[in-house]
């Protein structure tokens, strides 16, 4: 590796930073705000930590000969490795997990985090969703 060159991070390393940043945001703001507020503040925290973050990235899909430009939007795409789907609800539903898994599958990404800022404790509000990625 060249001197000064930055080693590429793994999905798990990026996810660890995201979890830490989500903890920081939840501790300082608490539950109960709009999802868009948490999205803005978490993006800020991740960029402050030196990560590349794309917020509300439109993703297209192909279905036979049809191309749909704006099929879905990813709340946060971090380092082009980890997709983050944010919620601010009392209870995360199974459909939210399926939604993130579909986003992972369609984008070819292997790891996503479902983060619910509505949870009383953030550790109860973070779920790891893997798409063909080893768990270790």
Which 3 state secondary structure label does DSSP give 18? helix
Give yes or no for a contact between 18 and 113, defined as CB atoms under 8 angstroms apart: yes
CA angle 10, 50, 41 (to 5 degrees): 105
43/12 Cα distance (integer angstroms)? 18
Which tens digits make up the pLDDT trace of 16-58?
A: 999 999 999 999 999 989 999 999 999 999 999 999 999 998 8
93/5 Cα distance (integer angstroms)? 42
Higher pLDDT: 3 or 91? It is: 91
Closest CA to 53 of 95, 10, 14, 96: 14
Domain range annotation of the chain: 11-130
Closest CA to 41 of 19, 58, 56, 24: 24
- Give pTM, 2 decimals: 0.90
- For the chain, give the percent of residues with pLDDT over 70: 93
User: pLDDT band at residue 135, thresholds of 50, 70 and 90?
Assistant: low
Which 3 state secondary structure label does DSSP give 19? helix
Which tens digits make up the pLDDT trace of 89-124?
A: 999 999 999 999 999 998 999 999 999 999 999 999
Higher pLDDT: 3 or 101? It is: 101
């Amino acid at each position: 590796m060249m001197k000064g060159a930055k080693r590429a991070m793994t999905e798990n390393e990026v996810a660890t930073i995201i979890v830490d940043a989500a903890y920081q945001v939840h501790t300082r703001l608490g539950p109960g705000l709009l999802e868009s507020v948490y999205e803005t503040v978490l993006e800020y925290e991740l960029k402050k930590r030196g990560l590349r973050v794309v917020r509300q990235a439109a993703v297209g899909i192909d279905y036979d000969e049809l191309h749909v430009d704006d099929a879905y939007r990813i709340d946060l795409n971090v380092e082009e490795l980890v997709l983050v789907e944010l919620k601010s609800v009392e209870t995360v539903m199974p459909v939210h997990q399926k939604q993130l898994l579909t986003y992972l599958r369609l984008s070819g990404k292997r790891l996503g985090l479902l983060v619910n800022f509505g949870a009383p404790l953030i550790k109860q509000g973070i779920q790891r969703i893997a798409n063909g990625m080893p768990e270790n």
